[in-house]
Amino acid sequence: MLKKNDIAPDFTLFATPDQKIALSEFKGKNVILAFYPADWSPVCSDQMALYNEMLKFFKKYDAEIFGISVDSKWCHMAFSQSRNLHFPLLADFEPKGEISKKYGVYNDTEGECNRALFVIDKEGIIQWSYLSPMAVNPGADGILEALEKL
């Protein structure tokens, strides 16, 4: 898993069925990447709902958050609409897990992302990372502490 002071690998992933987002577009902003196993799972649903509630706090630190899993852009769209999320979910769908693998958080056994968080500074350098147990919502405290230090 990538760690503090590693350069965050750039990527371009679908955010909606017809829109892609590239990490490089957010140079000059702080970025939070929240890798998670699957849309619709109970822990993932709670985790993404929490981050939705935390958006105003992330914005105070000039930070954008992106959820990333290997689910498809269509699955993300339905999940996001169902949960009324106001931040993009990115589809690391095809080639499956390519970006998760670059960040060192792909679970080959399960065929999905591990639950992992990254805070990336305005220059594209990882300043904090955390691997959470799969069944545990990692919350937002670690993210906020990392943003405060930037």
Phi-psi map region of 125: left, alpha, beta (phi>0 left; psi -120 to 50 alpha): beta
Q: Which residues contact 37 (CB under 8 A, 6 or more apart)?
A: 43, 44, 69, 107, 110, 112, 113, 114, 115, 134
Q: Are 51 and 65 in contact (CB under 8 A)?
A: yes
Backbone angles phi, psi at 79, to 5 degrees: -65, -45
User: Could you give the residue numbers annotated as active site?
Assistant: 44
3-state DSSP call for residue 140? coil
Q: Which residues contact 121 (CB under 8 A, 6 or more apart)?
A: 30, 127, 150
